[in-house]
Amino acid sequence: MGNNVPGRKKWLILGAGGQLGREWSKQLERDGCDYLAPARDRLDITDSGQVRRILDEYRPDIVINAAAYTAVDRAEDERKRAEAINSDAPGQLAGICTEMDTQLIHYSTDYIFPGRLADRKQFPDGYPEMFPAEPVNWYGRTKWLGEEKVRAAGGTHLILRVSWLCGAYGNNFVKTMLRLAGEKDQLKVVNDQWGCPSFTAPTVFNTRALISRQAYGTFHLTSQGEITWYDFARAVLEIKQIGVDIEPVTTEEFPTRAGRPAWSKLDIRKLADIPGTRILPWREELGKLLSRLPA
Ligand SMILES: NC(=O)c1ccc[n+]([C@@H]2O[C@H](COP(=O)([O-])OP(=O)(O)OC[C@H]3O[C@@H](n4cnc5c(N)ncnc54)[C@H](OP(=O)(O)O)[C@@H]3O)[C@@H](O)[C@H]2O)c1
């Protein structure tokens, strides 16, 4: 976890076992940074006493909150739990960070937006950061409340909205498609929900670029482009040269417990304007991710 060198920034990673948390640890480790990445059994972010203690003891300069309740469908039935993790805990954490003058980096989601196809006509580049939130599911609602609490705490913070997040660690759409392609002769994937994936490695890279430029506030952070889940799945199979049939289906044919926005592309021009950031087309990032996964 790096050497504790005086004068160097210290990082605390929350949600260290998740796909983004693990990517953070990997990059900080590679760069020889001072960081602490407590496992969930050592730090439950809903326990504000534990959070305060660890901040008091470790005294990080920057806290990365990659912890979240991310089971979108289950959240409809576990409302209190999802709210405790995604709304209340970030609010308490932000309060503690403000008191201790510690920077807080908090991740949020495209699912805070309504995702109306009509909005796409007005905003062809995607939802701008300031577009009013109107989540269509409980997960999105809890994440929006979490954002609002982080802002209200009034400390130095970055809120980064990512979408369709995929990386080398943990579970995600890309890995699910690869697994299903090994099990089935035909896949059915929704072709009427549009968005753009974020990948964990560039998410960490661009977050660090924003921090080093002292760019604070709310930013959208995805790759470039606009696709459906079907396009995404097809690209996974094409790049990996897997000859499994894939059929486009509608959301109606594929009902889920929680509603999903039909179009949740995020406008990333604010991020692109910050020197040092790097935003690549989604397919290029997908290729890089696939080359990191075991064959
Ligand atoms: N995944 C996506 O498609 C997606 C899309 C848009 C935005 N986001 C946002 O991006 C961020 C990172 O997501 P991700 O995909 O990396 O999530 P993830 O893989 O589900 O990881 C979340 C981590 O948080 C941990 N966690 C949950 N409750 C906790 C608690 N009370 N205390 C401490 N840790 C706790 C989880 O531990 P357990 O595994 O033990 O529960 C897990 O390790 C989140 O803010 C998420 O809302 C994700």
Domain map (residue ranges) of the chain: 10-166+197-223+265-279
Above 90 in pLDDT, residue 187?
yes
- pLDDT tens profile 259-271: 999 999 999 999 9
Report how many helices (DSSP H) and strands (DSSP E) the chain contains, helices first: 11, 10
Say which residue the tokens 């994936």 belong to.
Answer: 197
Above 80 in pLDDT, residue 5?
no
Q: Please, what sign has the CA dihedral across residues 269, 287, 209, 53?
A: positive
What spacing in Å lies between the alpha carbon of 68 and ligand 1's midpoint? 4
What spacing in Å lies between the alpha carbon of 174 and ligand 1's midpoint? 17
Is the separation of the CB atoms in 213 and 274 below 8 Å? yes
Give me the active site residues, please. 139
Instruction: Give me the phi and psi of 118, to 5 degrees please.
Output: -65, -30
Among protein residues, the one with the nearest Cα to ligand 1's atom 40 is 40
Question: 40 in ligand 1 pocket by Cβ < 6 Å?
Answer: yes
The rounded distance, in Å, linking the Cα atoms of 167 and 264 is 20
Arithmetic mean of pLDDT, 189-217: 98
Look up the CATH number of domain 10-166+197-223+265-279. 3.40.50.720
Closest to 175 (Cα-Cα) out of 289, 85, 273: 289
Arithmetic mean of pLDDT, 211-216: 96
Above 80 in pLDDT, residue 134?
yes
Above 90 in pLDDT, residue 7?
no
Closest to 264 (Cα-Cα) out of 142, 108, 45, 157: 108
Residue 294's pLDDT is: 83
Among protein residues, the one with the nearest Cα to ligand 1's atom 24 is 67
Say which residue the tokens 């980096």 belong to.
Answer: 105
Residues 6+ apart with CB under 8 A from 53: none
Arithmetic mean of pLDDT, 40-46: 95
- pLDDT tens profile 238-294: 999 999 999 999 999 999 999 999 999 999 999 999 999 999 999 999 999 999 998
Above 90 in pLDDT, residue 93?
yes
